[in-house]
Structure 1
């Protein structure tokens, strides 16, 4: 397989995965979050009951891993091209910083408090505070997903322009 064809495939998968991740986070924002965080701690208890068969923790880790892996592969494949490398590398850095590292440091501890620790471990006031912090921090993740998707899509468009066959006027 040629390098150009491989780059095409990796960039398309990167854009698809980044947009799926961003779309999932955006959907969570408008469909799940009002129900999960709207009336803590009672809404957190309802969420525990509802999210038994599956939830965001089943969807986002594998999708996030695919964004990270394809963004790293795309960075390696486009590194020689100065006009593409920074879009792809920036998409990788933004996603890793806003989606992965920020989640590990900020969201995972709050998820433990709200959804893993036994009910009654924390006071209602503390649970409300944690829920408010979670929702406020969520905007960083949403913005990071939007920026990642835009950068990856821009790289794909630039690559398409560079590799498109040139039309010759008759």
Structure 2
């Protein structure tokens, strides 16, 4: 397979994975979060009972790894294209900052308090505070996912515009016309 094709595949997978991640976070926001955080600590207890077979922690880590790995691959394939490379590097930086680092530093400790520590360890007031902090911080993750997806999609559009046969023919004709002047 040619480098152009590998680059196209890497960019398509990156866009797909970043949009799946963003879509998952958006779905959590409207479907799960009102149920999980709506009436802490009772809603946290219900969430513990409900999220037994699987939950966000089963879905997002593999998907996040896919986003990061395809960012690395797309960056490697587009390194010779500085006008494209920086869109991908920016997507990777936003994703790593908002989805990974922010999660590790902000969400993981709160998840521990709400869902791992034994029931009764923390006061209801403290659990409500932690739940409110979690929901407020969630908007950073949602915005980061939107920005990552937009940057990755922009990179794909720029790549397709640059490599599409019709645009190549137009550029060649424009170069021929320029050469005649």
Q: TM-score range by the shorter chain?
A: over 0.9
- SS for the counterpart of 1:84 is helix
User: Which aligned segments of 4 or more residues in structure 1 are displaced greater than 4 angstroms?
Assistant: none
**What is the CA–CA distance in structure 1 between the aligned matches of 2:72 and 2:146, rounded to whole Å?**
18
SS in 2 for 1:119: coil
List alignment gaps of at least 5 residues for structure 1. none
Give the match for residue 130 of structure 1: 130
Whole-Å Cα distance in 1 between the matches of residues 94 and 73 of structure 2?
15
Gaps of 5+ in 2: 174-181
Shift of residue 137 of structure 1?
0.3
Aligned residues: 169
Deviation at 1:118, TM superposition (A): 0.2
Deviation at 1:72, TM superposition (A): 1.1
Q: Which residue number in structure 2 is paired with residue 84 of structure 1?
A: 84
Q: Deviations over 1:104-139 (max 9, x none)?
A: 000000000000000000000000000000000000
- The equivalent residue for 1:30 is 30
> CA separation in 1, counterparts of 2:52 and 2:104?
22
2:5 is matched with 5
CA–CA distance in structure 2, aligned partners of residues 163 and 50 of structure 1: 48
Structure-2 separation of matches of 1:83 and 1:126? 48
Partner of 2:165, secondary structure, is coil
User: Alpha-carbon deviation of 1:153?
Assistant: 0.2
Provide the aligned C-alpha RMSD in A.
1.0
- Name 1:108's counterpart in structure 2: 108
